[in-house]
Every structure is written in structure tokens, then in C-alpha cells.
């Protein structure tokens, strides 16, 4: 998710590139509401990671995957249920075995319709991309961890404890040391703690456990690929936010004042990071966790931004 919708949210399969032998990434090209998409190729089967936002994107990804797979079996998994990662899944139904962890499937079942409505409100391009989307449940689910052998390519699907979403899943190739993080890492974009199931504390711990995997290549949910440092950078930021908020709670500041002052300090320190509209969500999430009070979500400024843009450039 991004704050400024720069181009129509369309996956660009023609730009797919092999990052290590047998592992392709369709890069997001910094297009808003387009994630990095993975295609892992074994001798027997091909696994796609993320389906994209809506039917057209799902079709584009499927077409590329089928071209790569030929007669091999096709599998699809998603790192989390968010629309730009998982709402193209309908295109895969009947063509691939769709596989996620049980928690992610439950979360999709519970929140899918409301996220569909929400994202349709993110401007005309998003609305168009989500036309006719039907939410599709996985064919197979697992709990905890599942190792898949694609034929000479081992892939581990691992369910996390719920930092970005309740059903977060990473995809790891132990031999190639490639890690698909989903939105637990968005390269130089502020982390998104969107609803009550997100958790700064769990997110920080999850990143620590992922660092222990020592990935050689990190494929973030959005933005340029990198190395293990990407995990460290997000963890540093979340710890910084937590410390800033904690200091102010201890000083007896009101939530209103914390909202203002912590946001200013965070923005100053992370000037080169995008999507600063998510800073208020980070502050509120941390505040709720530190004080043990119910999460009060701030207003989402995204729709206002889009509305203003569309009024200016109809």
C-alpha cells in the first residue's frame, strides 16, 4: 500500500528476472498497489508467491507462471491476505493448488469483504483493478510450517506470530537462502500496522527470528530487493518508534501530544522513507501495546489524498 497512486496498479510480467537459478521475481517497479511477485521453479512443479491486486493482475501473473511452468504442476501461495498480495488469487482457481496457512485463510474469510470495500475506495484505478473480484479460499492449508519439494527446489512456508497481519507467512528457500518477507519488509517504506491484529512487539521478534535465517537475498513486499540488512532496518525503525513513544508515556504526555511529537521525531530521522501516512498507525499500535489499553486507530489519510488528486486531475 502506498500513499500516492502514481500509476495504474498493474503487474508487469515482461519485467520478470531470474534472481538466482530457478527463482524469478516480477519486480513491483515502485508501482503503488503492486507487490514483488515470486516464481520458484523446480523440475516437477512451480510455486508462485503472491497473486496481485484483482482479476487482471491475477491473470497476468498466472499467464507468466504457466509460460514458465509448461506441463509442470502449479502452486500458489500468498504472504498475507492484503488485497494487492492476494486478491488476484481467483484467476488461479482450478489452474493451481492454492496453499496458505490456516490463520491466513481464517483472516481472509473474516476480513476479505471489508478490505475489498476499503481498497475499492482507494481511487478509480484501485476500484477498476478490483472489479468482479471474488474471494477465493485456499485449496490446502497448513499450520506452523510446511516444506514443499518442487523437484530440486526446496521451499519452506512458515507461519509467523502476527506482526503485519494475523496470518503472516514467509517463504524461504534454505538452499538458495532467498527469503520472501511479504510486507514485514517494505524497502524504505514505513511499516504498516493496519488493524488490531498487527503488533509492533511481535513484528520486532519476527524480524529477529528471520535474521537468524541469514538470508542472502531478501525479497521485500514492496521496493528494491536487498540483503539481511533490510530486516535490520525495519527492526531498528520499530524499536525507535517504541522507544520514542515509551519515553513520552513515562513523562506523562497525553496521547494527542505523543501523536504529534513522536511523529515529528520519526519523520525527521527517517526522511528518506516513503509512506509516512503510516507513522500515526505505528504510534497508536505501540501506545496500545505499552499501556495495555485498547487500540485507537487514527484516521486514514490515504483516501483524502486520492480524492484531492482526483479532483485536481480528473
Interface with Zn ion by CB under 5 A: which residues? Answer: 82, 183
Compare residues 64 and 82 and give the one whose CB is closer to Zn ion.
82
Compare residues 28 and 183 and give the one whose CB is closer to Zn ion.
183
Distance CA 237, CA 266 (A): 8
Compare residues 1 and 155 and give the one whose CB is closer to Zn ion.
1
| Whether the Cβ atoms of residue 51 and residue 63 lie closer than 8 Å to each other | no
Compare residues 150 and 184 and give the one whose CB is closer to Zn ion.
184
Distance CA 261, CA 137 (A): 43
End-to-end Cα, the chain, rounded Å: 22
Helix (H) or strand (E) holding 141: strand 140-142
Find, among 61, 79, 74, the residue nearest to 12 by Cα. 61
Minimum separation from the CB atom of position 85 to Zn ion (A): 6
Minimum separation from the CB atom of position 32 to Zn ion (A): 13
Determine whether 153 is exposed, middle or buried from the number of CB atoms within 10 Å of its CB (0-12, 13-18, 19+). buried
Compare residues 82 and 153 and give the one whose CB is closer to Zn ion.
82
Minimum separation from the CB atom of position 165 to Zn ion (A): 6
Compare residues 22 and 167 and give the one whose CB is closer to Zn ion.
167
Minimum separation from the CB atom of position 35 to Zn ion (A): 8
Minimum separation from the CB atom of position 200 to Zn ion (A): 15
Q: Name the percent of the chain in helix, strand, coil, to the closest 5.
A: 40, 20, 40
**Residue carrying C-alpha cell 520514542:** 244
Distance CA 114, CA 49 (A): 23
Minimum separation from the CB atom of position 77 to Zn ion (A): 15
Strands (E), 37-90: 37-41, 45-49, 73-77
Amino acid at each position: 500500500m502506498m500513499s500516492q497512486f502514481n500509476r495504474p496498479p498493474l503487474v508487469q510480467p515482461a519485467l520478470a528476472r531470474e534472481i538466482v537459478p530457478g527463482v524469478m521475481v516480477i519486480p513491483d517497479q515502485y508501482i503503488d498497489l503492486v507487490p514483488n511477485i515470486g516464481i520458484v521453479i523446480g523440475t516437477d512443479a512451480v510455486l508462485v508467491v503472491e497473486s496481485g491486486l484483482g482479476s487482471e493482475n491475477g491473470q497476468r501473473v498466472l499467464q507468466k507462471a504457466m509460460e514458465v511452468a509448461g506441463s509442470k504442476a502449479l502452486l500458489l501461495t500468498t504472504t498475507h491476505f492484503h488485497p494487492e498480495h492476494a486478491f488476484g488469487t481467483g484467476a488461479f482457481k482450478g489452474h493451481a493448488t492454492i496453499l496458505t496457512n490456516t490463520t491466513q485463510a481464517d483472516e481472509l474469510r473474516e476480513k476479505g469483504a471489508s478490505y475489498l470495500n476499503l481498497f475499492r475506495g482507494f481511487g478509480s484505478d484501485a476500484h477498476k483493478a478490483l472489479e468482479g473480484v471474488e474471494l477465493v479460499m485456499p485449496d490446502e492449508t497448513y499450520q506452523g510450517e510446511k516444506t514443499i519439494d518442487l523437484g530440486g527446489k526446496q521451499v519452506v512456508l512458515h507461519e509467523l506470530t502476527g506482526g503485519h497481519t494475523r496470518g503472516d507467512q514467509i517463504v524461504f528457500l534454505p538452499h538458495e537462502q532467498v527469503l520472501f518477507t511479504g510486507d514485514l519488509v517494505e524497502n524504505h517504506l514505513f511499516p504498516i500496522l493496519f488493524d488490531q491484529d498487527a503488533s509492533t512487539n511481535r513484528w520486532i521478534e519476527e524480524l529477529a527470528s528471520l535474521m537468524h535465517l541469514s538470508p542472502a537475498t531478501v525479497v521485500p513486499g514492496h521496493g528494491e530487493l536487498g540483503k539481511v540488512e533490510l530486516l535490520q532496518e525495519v527492526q531498528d525503525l520499530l524499536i525507535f518508534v517504541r522507544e520514542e513513544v515509551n519515553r513520552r508515556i513515562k513523562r506523562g504526555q497525553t496521547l494527542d501530544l505523543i501523536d504529534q511529537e513522536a511523529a515529528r521525531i520519526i519523520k525527521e530521522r527517517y526522511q528518506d522513507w516513503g509512506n509516512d501516512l503510516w507513522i500515526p498507525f505505528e504510534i497508536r499500535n505501540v501506545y496500545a501495546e505499552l499501556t495495555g489499553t485498547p487500540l485507537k486507530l487514527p484516521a486514514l489519510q490515504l483516501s483524502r489524498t486520492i480524492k484531492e488528486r482526483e479532483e485536481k486531475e480528473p
